[in-house]
Amino acid sequence: MKVLEDRGESLARIIIEKIIKRETSVAVVGLGYVGLPMAVEQAKAGFLVTGIDKDISKVEQINNGKSYIPDIPDDVLKNLVENGRLRASHLYNLLNTVDIIIICVPTPLKMMKQPDLSYVLTVTREIAGHLKPGQLISLESTTFPGTTQEVVLPILESTGLKAGIDFFLAFSPERVDPGNKSFKPEDISKVVGGVTALCHEVACVFYNQIIKHVVPVTSTDVAEMTKIFENTYRAVNIALVNEFMLLCDRMGLDMWEVVDAAATKPFGIQSFYPGPGVGGHCIPVDPLYLAWKALDYDFRLRFIDLAEEVNNQATDYVINKLVRLLNQHKKCLNDSRILVLGVAYKKDIDDIRESPAIKIISSLQKNHADVVYHDPYVPKFKMPGKNGIYLENMDLSVEEINRADCVLILTDHTCLDYQWVVDNARIILDARNATKLVQRGKEKITKI
């Protein structure tokens, strides 16, 4: 046993020294909104980085210095590629050539709202097929507590190599916030947990080279639970304000005014705002991972169930509010032309995953509305379903705005001139309070 411990200690000292000297190479598997920013930060910190993704178009764009993520400028990416700090490939056999492997693949839900770990499983098996002594593997994909220990670890150890002795395994949840100009990846504290003390030490040393503040925790389970708690906190609080919004609608009150007034209290409150529902790869998904895992402990997370119900109800409410607004203007939804502004799940990004806008458009179309959209970040998208058609972005013009029976604002992109939209619209249903600063035409605006 002492020999094994000494071997683990020796390998740990070797990789730590290489990390500090920037002599380690890194592979980031999954080059989406999480993986590519992380790969860029690692390359900027002085590491040789290989991004691996099965999407050939992403690989080609990166190698040509072209960014497909708004938060990463082309010139930054191009500079790293041209200087040999960053490259991309679709080949998993390159995993055998690196010292550190970061897993940043999606963790979506199955049809019945159960965790879908297929991407994590596929990548972990690929890593196992190329695993070599001394490597650090860090899972960053958001998942339920126990995934690293119960799912990833057994696959890697099936090779005969042991964590903390032959290789090092950690979990460090991604905290990337797409479109957030205030916090860059290196500014966001990084929670790190290892499956052994040596795994933990190696992972912390690595992340300390990239991130300004590393937060060590006692286990991978704690790190996994931390991320899900963060997103469940948001989901529950958004549901709270959405439920208040539903009541304020009946009482004739402006929920945005209520939230802004409450925010003047200097302690005890954090502002969350109502909207048409929740979207993205985190808030609608992550809490359900924990709810599923909790059943193993004969425990039901009622707040999560209720938050999902209320946030879905907010989406239905927007549709009903639109129908009522049209009726007030002697229109019915059938054959009405609805101009949707914004389909991304939040402002200033192009991500439409789980976007409430897509669900709303789908429902409006099923009720025979004539729906068009404008989103400067989303040139086109495919409607849900096997036979879903593609919708294409429509250029915004005075004629198109005026032609719409109602303008429905579902994403408050900052690049849009809302005063100009209001000036030329017939009526507006604003689900994001995007028109709060307009000076003219307020009588045309209805907030959800």
pLDDT 10s digits, 168-203: 999 999 998 888 888 888 889 999 999 999 999 999
Higher-pLDDT residue of 281, 35: 35
- pLDDT score of 5: 63
Going by C-alpha positions, the residue among 417, 242, 247 that lies closest to residue 315 is: 242
Pairing of strands 337-341, 370-374: parallel
Pairing of strands 190-194, 428-430: unpaired
Evaluate if residue 1 carries a pLDDT over 60: no
pLDDT category of residue 384 using cuts at 50, 70 and 90: confident
CA dist list (Å): 103 to 120, 169, 171: 8, 11, 9
- pLDDT score of 379: 95
Query: What would the 3-class secondary structure string for 347-362 be?
Result: CCCCCCCCCHHHHHHH
Element (H, E) at 406: strand 406-409
- Whole-angstrom Cα distance, residue 325 to residue 229? 38
- Residue from 282, 332, 406, 415 carrying the catalytic annotation: 282
pLDDT category of residue 4 using cuts at 50, 70 and 90: low
Task: For residue 94, give both structure tokens.
Answer: 């390159």
Residue 441 exposed, middle or buried by CB count within 10 Å (0-12, 13-18, 19+): middle
CA 76 from centre of chain = 22
Task: For residue 374, give both structure tokens.
Answer: 């404008």
Going by C-alpha positions, the residue among 340, 272, 333 that lies closest to residue 307 is: 272
Average pLDDT in the 91-104 region?
97
Count CA within 13 A, CB hemisphere, residue 378.
Answer: 30
- pLDDT score of 446: 95
- pLDDT score of 141: 97
Tokens 């690929």 belong to residue: 126
118 CB-near residues (< 8 Å, 6+ apart) = none
Average pLDDT in the 77-89 region?
97
- pLDDT score of 181: 80
pLDDT digits (tens, 9 = 90+) for 280-334: 989 999 999 999 999 999 999 999 999 999 999 999 999 999 999 999 999 999 9
Mean pLDDT of the chain: 95
Evaluate if residue 386 carries a pLDDT over 80: no
Task: For residue 11, give both structure tokens.
Answer: 């390998």
- pLDDT score of 98: 98
Average pLDDT in the 132-158 region?
98
Evaluate if residue 3 carries a pLDDT over 60: no
- pLDDT score of 111: 86
Q: What percent of the chain has pLDDT over 70?
A: 99
- Predicted TM-score (pTM) of the model is 0.92
Helix, strand or coil for residue 169? strand
- Whole-angstrom Cα distance, residue 296 to residue 150? 13
- pLDDT score of 178: 83
332 is catalytic: no
Evaluate if residue 242 carries a pLDDT over 80: yes
Average pLDDT in the 236-261 region?
96
Cβ atoms 206, 100 nearer than 8 A = yes
Quickly count: other Cβ atoms within 10 Å of residue 60's Cβ: 12
Tokens 């009482």 belong to residue: 251
- pLDDT score of 385: 77
Evaluate if residue 2 carries a pLDDT over 70: no
Find the range with the poorest average confidence among 169-183, 227-241, 337-351.
Answer: 169-183
Helix, strand or coil for residue 249? helix
For 169, phi then psi, to 5°, come to -130, 135
- Whole-angstrom Cα distance, residue 371 to residue 289? 34
CA dist list (Å): 448 to 189, 248, 254, 258, 276: 35, 10, 9, 14, 8
Could you give the domains of the chain? 2-218 (3.40.50.720), 234-447 (3.40.50.720)
- pLDDT score of 388: 78
Cβ atoms 140, 120 nearer than 8 A = no
195 CB-near residues (< 8 Å, 6+ apart) = 148, 149, 153, 163, 164, 169, 170, 219, 220
